[in-house]
Amino acid sequence: MSHTYSQWIAFKALCRAALRSIAKSPSSVIFTIAFPLVFIFVFGFLGDTDFSKIPIAFTTGTQTDHPVVRSLKEAGSFKIITAKNNSELNKLLEKGDIAAILDVHRTKPERTFVQMTVGSSQQEQAAVIKDYIDRAVLKAHPEIRTLLDKKITLNETVVTNRSGKTIDFILPGQLGFSLLAASVFGTAFVFFNLRQTLVLKRFFATPVRKTYILLAEGVARMIFQMGGALLIIFIGYYFLDFTITGGWLTLLNMLVLCMLALLVFMSFGFIISGLAASESVIPPLSNIITLPQFLLAGTFFSISNFPKWLQPVSYALPLTYFNDAMRQMAMDGASLWDVRTDIAVLLLWGMAGYALAARVFRWE
C-alpha cells in the first residue's frame, strides 16, 4: 500500500539537521554571538562620554553674520547641525541628537541676546557652550570685545529630552553586524560546501522538492539568528541598561525587523555561493559586501560624522536602514509602520539580491 510522501516531515527533518550543523559551526557562534557581545561590552564599559564635537544648532531667526555665531561655527569644539525649520530642530533636541539650540540676535546695537534651549540630559555639554560664549568668544575675537563690550545676555531654557547612552547606539549596530556577517558568511560557505560535496545533487534523487530544501536551510538559520538576537538584546537590557521604549511590543517589532533583514542579507550569501569557484574565494567576496557596511553604515559611529561626500555612499547601504530602524524602535518606540521607509529600502535590496542570486545560483 503506497503512502503520499510528506514534504512537511522532510522539511522538519532538514531543519533539524541544518540547525544542528549551524550550532556546531564555530564561525556561526562567533559571528552571531561572540564578536557582537565583545564590542557591546567594550563600548558599554566605556560609558557615555562623548569625545566628539558637541552638536549645536541655530534657529532660523538667528543672525548668521553675528560675530558670536561666526565664532561658534569656527570653533573646533562644536558641530553645527542644520534642519529645514525650528520644528525639526526641536525634534532633534528631544531625541538627544543635538545638545542645544541657540537663537542669537542683537536687541540693541551695543547688546546681544542669546537664548539657549538645552536638553535635560545634556547639562554638561550646555555648560561647555555657555563657558565658550562667556569667555572664549571674547578672547578669540577682539572685534567682538570692541563691538559688544561684553554685553551679552544669555538665557537658558531646559527641556526634557532623551538621554543618548552609548549602548543605545552601539547595540543596534552590533545586532546588524551579527545578522549581516552570519548571513553572508554562513550562507555562502554552507551552500558552497553542499554543492561541492554533491549533497544538493543527491537531494534530487529524493522526493523532497528543492523549494523545501532551501526553505529548511533558511528557517534553520533564522531560528539560530533570532536566538542570538534575543540573547544580545537581553544582555544589553539587563546588564548594560539598553533602552527599549515600549516594552514587549517594541521587542516584538525589533525581532520582526531582524527577520526581514536576515532574509535580505541571506540573498548576498546565495550570490557569493553561486559565484565562488572555490572555497578560498568566499572570504574575499564576503568581505567586499560586509566590510564597507560595517564601517560606513553607522555601526560604530554616526553617519553625520563622515565627510559630506561619503555620506551618500552610507545611505546607499542596506545595513544603514536596518540600524536606523532598529534605533528608532528601541529609543523612540517606533512601530514597523513608522519605519516603513527603512523597511521598503531593505525589501528593495532583497528583491534585487534574490533576482541576482537566482541567476548565479548552481545546484552542482
Instruction: Identify the pLDDT of residue 253.
Output: 92
Instruction: Identify the pLDDT of residue 52.
Output: 57
Q: What is the 8-class DSSP label of residue 120? A: T
* 101: β partners: 57, 117
What SS3 class is residue 81? strand
Tell me the chain's radius of gyration from C-alpha atoms.
26
Give the helix ranges, DSSP H, for the chain: 7-24, 26-29, 35-46, 67-74, 86-95, 123-131, 137-140, 142-148, 166-181, 187-196, 199-203, 210-239, 247-275, 282-296, 311-314, 318-332, 340-360
For 45, counting Cβ atoms within 10 Å of its Cβ (0-12 exposed, 13-18 middle, 19+ buried), the class is: exposed
Q: Cell for 39? A: 564590542
Q: What are the tens digits of pLDDT across the range 42-87?
A: 666 555 544 457 788 888 888 777 777 887 787 777 888 887 788 8
Q: What are the tens digits of pLDDT across the range 176-232?
A: 888 898 888 888 887 787 777 777 667 666 777 767 777 777 788 888 888 888 888
d(CA 63, CA 78): 18
Q: Which of 36, 77, 83, 38 is nearest to 57 (CA)?
A: 83
Output b/e per residue, 279-292; b: 16+ Cβ within 10 A: eeebeebbeebbee
What are phi and psi for residue 48, nearest 5 degrees? -110, 20
| Beta-sheet pairing, 100-108 with 54-58 | parallel
Domains of the chain plus CATH, in order, are: 7-45+165-360 (no CATH), 54-159 (3.40.1710.10)
Give the helix ranges, DSSP H, for 75-186: 86-95, 123-131, 137-140, 142-148, 166-181
What SS3 class is residue 274? helix
Residue 322 has pLDDT above 90, yes or no: yes
Q: Global pTM?
A: 0.72
